[in-house]
Amino acid sequence: MSKMTPQEMAQKIGSGLLSFPVTPFKADYSFDEATYRANMDWLCGYDVAGLFAAGGTGEFFSLTPTEVSEVVKVAVDETKSRVPVLAGTGYGTAIAREIAIGAEKAGADGLLLLPPYLTHSEQEGLAAHVEAVCASVKIGVIVYNRDNAILQPDTLARLAERCPNLVGYKDGIGDIELMTRVYTKLGDRLTYVGGLPTAETFALPYLDMGVTTYSSAVFNFVPEFATNFYTAVRKRDHATIHAGLKDFILPLIAIRNRRKGYAVSIIKAGMKVIGRDSGPVRPPLTDLTEQEIAELTALVKKLPAIRSSQQAAE
């Protein structure tokens, strides 16, 4: 059971960079606990404000509810309260509640509620879904506004009144007008998380809208780059930001965009590149080709040349 209140969790994750660790699999696609423990311990050595176990990059969509609880339990045990651990939950309301309860029992400090499976719903139905999940646990809940689960500002405001443990809003659609209306409506009632794929590309403009943190998938395999980039964003160090985008993030996106599902696959490939092989992605995702891994390797090798403009001036 988490020792953090929902509000404490929200304040903590809003203070720094967030990441979604990959879930390592063996060749037979079973959970590789030993590698996961080693990865989590390594990542905790960097300045990160929260780790999301069994999240999107952690292939939540390919895990069973039992596996989610198992992954979260291992994450909580290995991090040893060094950083908050949040768990993914989703699918239909009944399954989302089951996963949420299991994650809370496993010691998660909070939840990220992903969109329901496939179904498109009216605001009333989405609100009932979110409220049911919030009511099933005492830990904090962050709602992920994305795809078929787009909550409007008035809906969010009503949910915030009814659900004290609804403490966060993660944006995954990039609608600047909607983000502005949400922040104007709810202000500091929620912690706002940037959640677009490869969030580094949107980090600076989102900061000006009150989004103080974002989820960095690349933190998995280049944590030093990711934390330095986040520091540059918070300092509005444009030179460092643009260098990081030009020399690493945008070329990485070019590889990612070649095939569907590569947003996750390229992170698993990155783990292999740095010598922390975390196994394959589970179907229906596919792994990068050897040529694409070679391209990614070349990108990672160039990273030491990316330095803060402030450091270069010293």
Per the annotation, binding residues are: 57
Residues in the annotated binding site for pyruvate: 57
Beta-carbon contacts of 104 under 8 Å, excluding residues fewer than 6 positions away, are 1, 2, 111, 137, 138, 139
Task: Work out the angle between the directed axes of helices 33-43 and 65-79 (0-180°, nearest 10).
Answer: 40
Residue 264 to residue 314: CA distance in whole angstroms: 37
- Catalytic annotation on 301? no
Q: Are 215 and 199 in contact (CB under 8 A)?
A: yes
Q: Are 160 and 190 in contact (CB under 8 A)?
A: yes
- CB atoms inside a 10 Å sphere around CB 186: 17
Helices (H) and strands (E) in the chain, counts: 14, 8
- Which one of the listed residues 144, 169, 206, 262 is annotated catalytic? 144
- Catalytic annotation on 36? no
Q: Are 105 and 97 in contact (CB under 8 A)?
A: no
- Which one of the listed residues 12, 36, 91, 170 is annotated catalytic? 170
Q: Which of 67, 110, 105 is nearest to 86 (CA)?
A: 110
Residue 230 to residue 177: CA distance in whole angstroms: 24
Indicate which residues carry an active-site annotation.
Answer: 144, 170
